[in-house]
Structure formats: C-alpha cells, structure tokens
Amino acid sequence: MESITLYYRDGRSDKVYQTSIEPKQSGFVVNFAYGRRGSTMNTGTKTQSPVSFEEAKKIHSKRELKK
C-alpha cells in the first residue's frame, strides 16, 4: 500500500531502513525492516494488532520524520 525506504551510506556503512502499511484482517499494520544493504534484514512491526488506516498512517509518518 504505502512504503518508505531510506538509505544511509558513510564510509564503510551502507544501511537501509524500510517501513510499509499493509492490510491485515479488518485493518492495517505498519511493518519495518532494517540492516546492512545486501544482507539479511531485521524485521518487525510497529503495530501489535491491526489498526485503522488513519492510525497506521500516523505511525508510518512518524518513521518518515525520523530520517
């Protein structure tokens, strides 16, 4: 649905951070993945259970502001 991908490169550091809003059951969840570009990403969720799209958008936007 909606996603953000951020990249950070400085010297030997080359990292990526992704968040996305995805439909689940009767609502939406905000999932994330981060790690070194090209390697296995660490994953998780910012929402333990489905929330409304408006709430998911607020959570997702907070990630965007922390670039």
Mean residue pLDDT across the chain: 90
pLDDT for 45 equals: 95
Domain chopping of the chain, boundaries: 2-65
pLDDT for 1 equals: 75
Buried b (16+ CB within 10 A) or exposed e, 38-47: eeeeeeeebb
pLDDT for 46 equals: 94
pLDDT for 52 equals: 96
pLDDT in tens, 19-45: 999 999 999 999 999 999 999 999 999
pLDDT for 67 equals: 46
Fold of the domain built from segment(s) 2-65: q64v53_bacfr protein fold (2.20.140)
Neighbours of 66 (CB within 10 A): 7
